[in-house]
Structure 1
Amino acid sequence: MWIHILVFVLTFFLMEFMAWFTHKYIMHGFLWSLHSDHHRKYHDSWFERNDAFFIFYALVSIGFFLLWKYQYLEIGLAIGIGIFAYGLTYFLVHDIFIHQRFKIFRNANNRYARAVRRAHKMHHKHIGKEHGECFGMLVVPLKYFRDSK
């Protein structure tokens, strides 16, 4: 049981690295065509091509659930839930809290919330795929905490 909890926690935190890596080298790299509409909205749809990245990670999570269900990987459930939990957290922080795709969490104004918003704002000041900064989501550089006092 403890190994499953440990794997879940490790998976959740590893997903922050995966989000950073995917964002920096894939979204701002060879799949910029899917991510560009997130930096410069040139359409009227509520959906963005960028949302395809959620689908990718959902499929990876489902894959681990299936590996567990069909008894190929005993810790597959813990990994699948870790990926799902990070995806849900990412959705709540990025799409709802920061970009206000749903109008909730508007009044969160603690130091961490201000640092996350500021770091993401600095990321979005670059509308092209080059010269980006702050590619992670939940782990924010310390300078944004200092700036958010």
Structure 2
Amino acid sequence: ENEKKAVEALKTKERIKEERRRKTLMKEQIDQQKEVIAKQRIAKIDRMKKGLGGMNSEKRKRLKEIIMQRAHEEMQNERMKVAEERKLYLANRVPPLDVDNLSEAALVTKVQEMYNRLATLHSESYDLEQRVIAQENEIYDITQKMTDLDCKGK
């Protein structure tokens, strides 16, 4: 019986040793995995710090130049487009001035017509400006009324 107890005690000790050994191995493996993950994170952060996927300064500078050049070209194209649209608008809005073959009396008549047209346009412009001012005042008044109502309601 003592032998059985001794054998059982030895087996228990061996199981305990084996269990401790397994735990230490697992702990070492976990520590190694944590180390690998930490190294990967550090490497990833280093790559991110370098910027643009690890490009060197020369490549970044070249990329910046290309982007700036394209932006400049797009701006020039936009300016040209706006200028062309303006020319088309003016061509449609303002009739061509044919004064080469006109007599002096016809020129005077043409100048009077143009002056009258200009006066009409100025008058329309003034009317529109006054209308905008009136609308802005109306918006201001309505906003004030709304503010007053909000204050009274609270």
Q: Which protein shows a greater Rg?
A: 2
> Of Structure 1 and Structure 2, which has the larger fraction of its residues in helix?
2
Select the structure with the greater relative contact order (CA < 8 A; seq sep ≥ 6).
1
TM over 0.5: no
| Coarse TM-score class (shorter-chain normalised) | under 0.3
TM-score (norm 2): 0.21
TM-score (norm 1): 0.22
